[in-house]
């Protein structure tokens, strides 16, 4: 028995390291993740909280100095984002893109009652500049979006991303590996027809599971969709279609599940962190925001948040819809061209 187990053990190890693509990827991928995270979340640059400031540089005459304000500005892990006016900044506060808004000239601040991060930042401000005059708290006008309700569209989008990319990419690679695609290659079925059928199958699953999760969470937490349900379903379907097509593009030639998994991981991790699923990119460097706009998940989460939280009509989100539709068509076309029935 031990001899048979040893034979299988040795054979599997040889199979792994002889597959140079997956072997190299398993070594390279952790380095890429560590390098990327160390660059994006370096301790000296990492900000845990975001505070909006009303025009201290654009309007120097308003930026009255105070010991409390100076002490607060020295707080580590707090990023300060400047805005020209309260009208520009308050909607971002209501939608948790910033945790607090401060007017240093008027000695006032705003914080959302539904934001746990805002509560912490308010305590930091109150404890700054001991013995100095305190900032005055102003009431926030407008509809405050609960943090969990702001995060909910991102969670749904992230779940769709994993289901779309891994649910389709792995299946196609497994078909190629076990010879199922080789048998299909002698039938009249074209690559475009095969990929389209895979997309439709996965789309039915995505919409059904997402609808079930949405309905369950809406019943438990009383989430409110302030926009059109038809627009919401359309955006989820279009975003899911784009990500399913991306998964098929990645699996178009790969015959190694390990290699395909590595490529899918290196796509899903940046999408999860840069598509504002968990936190806002308000105040981030322009190149970071530009990189985030490459990903379909960014546009899908942005559109669904605007529909659910603000009731924005679909006509006001045509650029994002065009990006999702264009990327879906591009991924499907490239996947059809590059598709191979079997490994050569």
Q: Find out whether 268 and 35 touch, Cβ atoms under 8 Å.
A: no
Q: Report pLDDT for 27.
A: 56
Residue 322's pLDDT band, with cuts at 50, 70 and 90, is very high
End-to-end CA distance of the chain: 36
* Selected residue with higher pLDDT from 267 and 322: 322
* Selected residue with higher pLDDT from 168 and 42: 168
Residue 291's pLDDT band, with cuts at 50, 70 and 90, is confident
Whole-number percent of the chain with pLDDT over 70: 80
pTM: 0.73
Residue 337 has pLDDT above 80, yes or no: yes
- Would you list the domain boundaries of the chain? 49-138, 147-338
Residue 233's pLDDT band, with cuts at 50, 70 and 90, is very high
Length reported for the chain: 344
Q: What CATH class does 49-138 carry?
A: alpha beta
| Cα distances (Å, whole numbers) of residue 334 to 226, 228, 291 | 37, 33, 21
Q: Is 192 exposed, middle or buried (0-12, 13-18, 19+ CB in 10 A)?
A: middle
Helix, strand or coil, per DSSP, at residue 86: helix
Q: Report pLDDT for 28.
A: 59
Tell me whether strands 108-110 and 78-83 are parallel, antiparallel or unpaired. Answer: unpaired
Query: Residues near 342 by Cβ (< 8 Å), separated by ≥ 6?
Result: 176, 179, 181, 182, 185, 255
Six-digit token string for 207: 């919409």
Residue 186 has pLDDT above 60, yes or no: yes
* Selected residue with higher pLDDT from 279 and 109: 109
Query: Residues near 29 by Cβ (< 8 Å), separated by ≥ 6?
Result: 262, 265, 266
Q: Report pLDDT for 236.
A: 92
- What are the start-end ranges of the H helices in 19-146? 20-40, 67-73, 86-94, 116-127
Among 195, 185, 197, residue whose Cα is nearest residue 336: 195
Residue 228 has pLDDT above 70, yes or no: yes
Neighbours of 272 (CB within 10 A): 17
Kindly compute the dihedral angle of the four CA atoms of residues 240, 242, 246, 249, in this order, to the nearest 10 degrees.
Answer: 120
Q: Report pLDDT for 119.
A: 85
Report how far Cα 157 is from the mean position of its chain's Cα atoms.
Answer: 8
Half-sphere exposure of 89 (CA within 13 A, CB side): 25
- DSSP symbols for 258-310: HHHHHHHHHHHHHHHHHTTSSS--TT--HHHHHHHTTSHHHHHHHHHHIIIII
Q: Report pLDDT for 62.
A: 47
Q: Find out whether 112 and 129 touch, Cβ atoms under 8 Å.
A: no
Q: Report pLDDT for 185.
A: 79
Mean pLDDT of 294-320: 91
Mean pLDDT of 104-117: 84
Q: Report pLDDT for 130.
A: 63
Mean pLDDT of 91-102: 86
Residue 60 has pLDDT above 50, yes or no: no
Mean pLDDT of 25-32: 54
């Amino acid at each position: 028995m031990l001899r048979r187990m040893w034979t299988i053990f040795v054979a599997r190890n040889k199979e792994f390291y002889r597959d140079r693509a997956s072997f190299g990827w398993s070594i390279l991928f952790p380095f890429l993740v560590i390098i990327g995270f160390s660059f994006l979340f370096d301790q000296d640059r990492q900000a845990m909280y975001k505070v909006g400031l009303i025009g201290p540089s654009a309007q120097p005459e308003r930026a009255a100095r105070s010991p409390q304000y100076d002490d607060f500005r020295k707080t580590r892990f707090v990023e300060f984002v400047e805005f020209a006016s309260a009208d520009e900044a308050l909607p971002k506060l209501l939608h948790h893109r910033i945790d607090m808004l401060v007017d240093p000239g008027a000695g006032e601040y705003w914080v959302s009652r539904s934001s746990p991060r805002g509560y912490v930042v308010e305590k930091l401000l109150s404890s700054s500049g001991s013995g100095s005059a305190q900032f005055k708290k102003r009431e926030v006008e407008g509809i405050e979006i609960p943090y969990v309700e702001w995060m909910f569209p991102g969670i749904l989008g992230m779940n769709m991303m994993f289901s779309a990319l891994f649910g389709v990419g792995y299946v196609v690679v497994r078909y190629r590996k076990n010879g199922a695609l080789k048998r299909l290659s002698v039938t009249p079925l074209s690559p475009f027809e095969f990929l389209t059928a895979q997309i439709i199958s996965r789309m039915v699953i995505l919409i059904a599971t997402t609808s079930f999760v949405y309905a369950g969470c809406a019943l438990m937490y009383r989430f409110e969709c302030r926009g059109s349900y038809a627009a919401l379903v359309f955006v989820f379907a279009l975003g899911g279609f784009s990500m399913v097509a991306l998964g098929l593009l990645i699996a178009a030639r790969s015959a190694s599940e390990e290699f395909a998994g590595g490529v899918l991981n290196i796509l899903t991790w940046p999408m999860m962190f840069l598509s504002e699923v968990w936190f806002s990119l308000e105040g981030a460097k322009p190149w970071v925001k530009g990189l985030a706009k490459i990903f379909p998940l960014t546009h899908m989460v942005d559109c669904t948040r605007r529909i659910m939280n603000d009731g924005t009509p679909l006509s006001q989100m045509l650029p994002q819809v065009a990006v999702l539709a264009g990327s879906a068509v591009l991924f499907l076309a490239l996947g059809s061209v590059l598709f191979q029935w079997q490994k050569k």
